A and B are shown apart, each in its own frame.
Chain A
Amino acid sequence: MSGWLSQVIDQDYLLQARQMQALSFAVHIPLVCFGMALPTLILFLEWRAMRTGQEVYRTLARRWSRILVALFAVGVVTGTVLSFEMGLLWPQFVGTFGSVFGLGFAIEGFSFFVEAIFIGVYVYGWDRLSPRWHFASGIPIVLTGVTGSFMVITVNAWMNNPSGFRLQNGQVVDVDPVRALFANPFLWHEFVHMYIAAFMVTGFLIAGCYAVSMLRGRTTPYHRVALAVPLTAASVAAPAQIVVGDWAARTVGEQQPVKLAALEGLGATTSGAPVHLLGWYVDGEVRYGIEIPRLLSLLAYHDPDSTVRGLLSFPPEDLPPVNVVRIAFQTMVGIGSALALLAVIFLYIRIRAHRLPASRWFYRAVVLAGPAAVVALIAGWVTTEVGRQPWVVYGVMRTNEAVTAASGIPIGYAVLAAIYLGVVVGVGWILHRLAIRPLPADPPPRELVEEGVP
């Protein structure tokens, strides 16, 4: 059973396998955001309802809990596909390192379990449990949304900054899974970055839906609260994300210098390295970009004259695809900055004037902010995961040593792409149907009484 490692697999469709995995993540991760952030928003509304007796909060909490369970159901199955794909696409990765990182997913499985159980209790328990117990049954959903994503990120952080084992003749020895997963400097910034991103994605997307209603003239208290609560959550998160992002980039600069160089398209090792906005990396330099002198040195090491290692100083076979990483990074940062600006405008008007913004342009911007936040989320994951290439376990195992030898990857990719297109359309249809359900009382809908389906 030895010698699994360091064998390049004869697989003509490695790129397709990677794209298939990326597609699966891109469909799953926005759903994860809802699982992480939406329970908190729903519980906040339910708590306000208990405190104030205002029915509008309760109505909203109820309606959003139906969205939660629909998205969670799709999240369960797309997550199951990911766990299948770990083995189906990357058997040598799991076979060699499963004993090191697998624990993270095992604990995540339990977390997911508790989440699923209490989502059942919470969503089906409206009017069946006393208000206090109903509220209490939502708390485990909030907590497990955090722990589940935390455990998945322990594994991703380990892939980017592996430790907790030694290699001997292609076998892992001295395995310490607890140290591998939890004693990792990458874990914390990745987790906090993702947790905040979840609130931005969820908050801006939900607020965007109600911004459409507002632009159409529906400005009842129901619509105002439905817009204000998620938009406030996203708006307090957005500026914090810039601070956390700075921290994340500096940690990457220390631990994965090649990724930092790729983010900025820095060819030669440079003292007083600049940042380029836009442009295209070719032959060791960024062309057609707007240069801001010394900014990279300043941001990365807090010294405008410090030396930043460039891409050309690394072996060519160890470089990620620079333009993909760089464009994804700039997309994330650009959208994140724009969202933070929108957030600050909103917060300023809310705190100073005690009202909602009165400009139609503001609401048009909020409508755009939701999809933009999803694009930034996926661009961020592209940055870190494509930036990790050509390694699956950074510096230890290459992606082309991990991939399956099985044929037929293009067929699987095509089938999955077609089905996921259907899933995306289906989710859109579900959200639309739930949104057009009549207001305001929202009594238990017919099938809740007749069938018990939320």
Chain B
Amino acid sequence: MTVLQVLPMVAVLVGLVLYTVLANADLGTGVWQLTAGSGERAHQVRAHIYRAIGPIWEANHVWLIFVLTVLWTAYPQAFASLASTLVVPLFIAGIGIVLRGTAYALHGATNGPGDHPEVDLVFALSSLITPFALGAAVGAVASGRVPAGPVPGDIITSWLGPTSLLVGVLAVAGGAFLAAVQLAAEAARLGEVEMAERFRLRALLSGVVAGIVAIAGAFVVSVDAPALAHGLLDGAGRSAVVVSAVAGVATLVLVWTRRAHAARFVAAVAVAALVAGWALAQGPTLLPGLTVQQAAAPYNTLLAVTVSIVAGAVIVGPSLALLFGLVLGGRMDRPVDVPETAVPARPPRDRRMLGRGAVGLFVAGAVLVVFASGAVLMTVGLLLVLVAVVAGFVAVGPADLGLDTDDGTGSGTLFT
């Protein structure tokens, strides 16, 4: 097995961990939306949730697109098998994602939580459906219910096995826990002691529930998917499982002692170790009868994907660090006073010449595009047309629309 055949899978797993930690913490807020109840306190809880997920929301959900695109490029036949068998849970997850994103956008146009309770309800319910469906799909793969090849497995029973239900419930419970930890940390950062305390209790509660589900899961997996259980408990995955368990307990201790900020990083370690344990326990098998190596795309594609991932990471990494730095550093919390800078008045320019030039360039470019033979002249013509477009936009400009003279009342002098 060459390194190139495995690297994209490592990237997929890293993407999965980040999606679980970041987006599932987002999705986990659905539980707390749904259980907030009614009244002023519930209103405050919902407002805190919407505020906390604000600026980072969009970026978190792109991790899923990253996972899908790398998977279908680097392991196309495995992806096709997954999509053929897991058509139902993936469709449900897709619908959940649409409903949640739309509800989030709708919320931005309301006057806050409670203004349109049905929007909050759709937001909360879709936040539960999505992680459950995706978790069930992961469970189907982990328990070997997705056959490789063109003949799909059972599209109903494949994702409703015990392991699927376990992973689905664990995804929801774990998401609720991650969300509560994040929200407690965010409230603490903003100095809202009471809100931090509310989410501390929620974090402890959901953390214990998630822990119980995980322990119960060990028995479920050992019955339903003995091979996976062997890999996790006796084989290569054991140390990862131990790390995950220790990190999970440490997260709870940190939350207990009101150190939610540190807790969120340790929680991420717990998730990462669990995913790594799954990968070690199952590898090198991707789907029954299909190894990662067999599923891998040809060399050129693997090389191109790997180069793209590295280049992408170089660009996305610092950008993401900037966003998280601004948000966690409190720069996005309240407005800063910007000193008024006097802008010197400029005399209006006559842009008629520029307008004529744009028309001339456009005609010349159009003639070249339509009649020139050969790529060079054609490209020159196209560039001329595009320059003419920009020049025309500048020539027209909005500068002469009476901004200086108008009294702002809009006295209807426009129409003759």
Contact = CB atoms under 8 A, between A and B. Distances in A.
Contact of A100 (B75, B111, B301): B301
Interface in A38-72: 48, 50-54, 56, 66, 69-72
B403 A347 contact: no
A176 B82 CA distance: 25
Interface string B247-283: 0000000000000000000000000000000000000
Interface stretch (B100-108, B168-176, B203-211, B237-245): B100-108
A358 to B, nearest CB: 4
A77 to B, nearest CB: 3
Interface in B1-60: 47-48, 50-51, 54-59
B81 A219 contact: no
Contact of A223 (B105, B392, B410): B410
A423 B56 contact: no
Contacts of B352: 351
Interface stretch (A90-98, A284-292, A369-377): A90-98
B18 to A, nearest CB: 11
A446 to B, nearest CB: 7
Contacts of A384: none
A172 B299 CA distance: 12
A105 to B, nearest CB: 4
A295 interface: no
What is the predominant secondary structure among interface residues of chain A facing chain B?
Answer: helix
Given A175-B301, A243-B366, A128 B392 contact: no
Contacts of B300: 175-178
B175 to A, nearest CB: 18
B84 A405 contact: yes
B400 A217 contact: no
Contact of B94 (A84, A116, A430): A84
Contact of B87 (A48, A81, A246, A406): A406
Most chain A C-beta atoms within 10 Å of own C-beta, residue among B54, B351, B355 = B54
Contacts of B319: 113-114, 117-118, 140
A53 B385 contact: no
Interface string B89-103: 011011101111110
A312 interface: no
B343 A117 contact: no
A18 interface: no
A367 to B, nearest CB: 15
Contacts of B90: 84, 87-88
A49 B302 CA distance: 47
A253 to B, nearest CB: 13
B388 interface: yes
Query: Chain B: interface secondary structure?
Result: helix
Contacts of A100: 301
Contact of B54 (A92, A405, A452): A452
B40 to A, nearest CB: 14
Interface stretch (B147-155, B218-226, B227-235): B147-155
Given A81-B94, A130-B338, A302-B371, A113 B298 contact: no
Contacts of B376: none
A106 interface: yes
B102 A422 contact: yes
A73 interface: yes
A328 B157 CA distance: 43
Contacts of A129: 331
B396 A70 contact: no
A217 B68 contact: no
B323 A120 contact: yes
Contacts of A124: 54-55, 332
A175 B298 contact: yes
Contacts of B366: 243
A128 B335 contact: yes
A426 interface: yes
25 contacts: A1-B77, A76-B62, A80-B94, A98-B73, A98-B80, A110-B311, A116-B59, A116-B62, A117-B316, A119-B58, A124-B55, A175-B301, A217-B412, A219-B413, A220-B408, A225-B398, A244-B369, A404-B152, A406-B155, A419-B98, A419-B99, A423-B98, A427-B102, A434-B109, A454-B54
Interface of A: 1, 3-4, 7, 48, 50-54, 56, 66, 69-74, 76-81, 83-88, 91-92, 94-100, 102-103, 105-110, 112-114, 116-121, 123-125, 127-131, 140, 172-173, 175-178, 192, 196, 214, 217-221, 223-225, 228-229, 232-233, 235-237, 239-240, 243-244, 246-247, 302, 347, 350-351, 354-356, 358-360, 404-408, 412, 415-416, 419-420, 422-423, 426-427, 429-430, 433-434, 440, 444, 446-447, 449-454
Interface of B: 47-48, 50-51, 54-59, 61-62, 64-66, 68-70, 72-77, 79-84, 87-88, 90-91, 93-95, 97-102, 104-112, 148-152, 155, 290, 294, 297-298, 300-301, 304-305, 308-309, 311-312, 315-316, 319-320, 322-323, 326, 331-336, 338, 341-343, 346, 351-352, 355, 358, 362, 365-366, 369-371, 378, 382, 385-386, 388-390, 392-393, 395-403, 406, 408-416
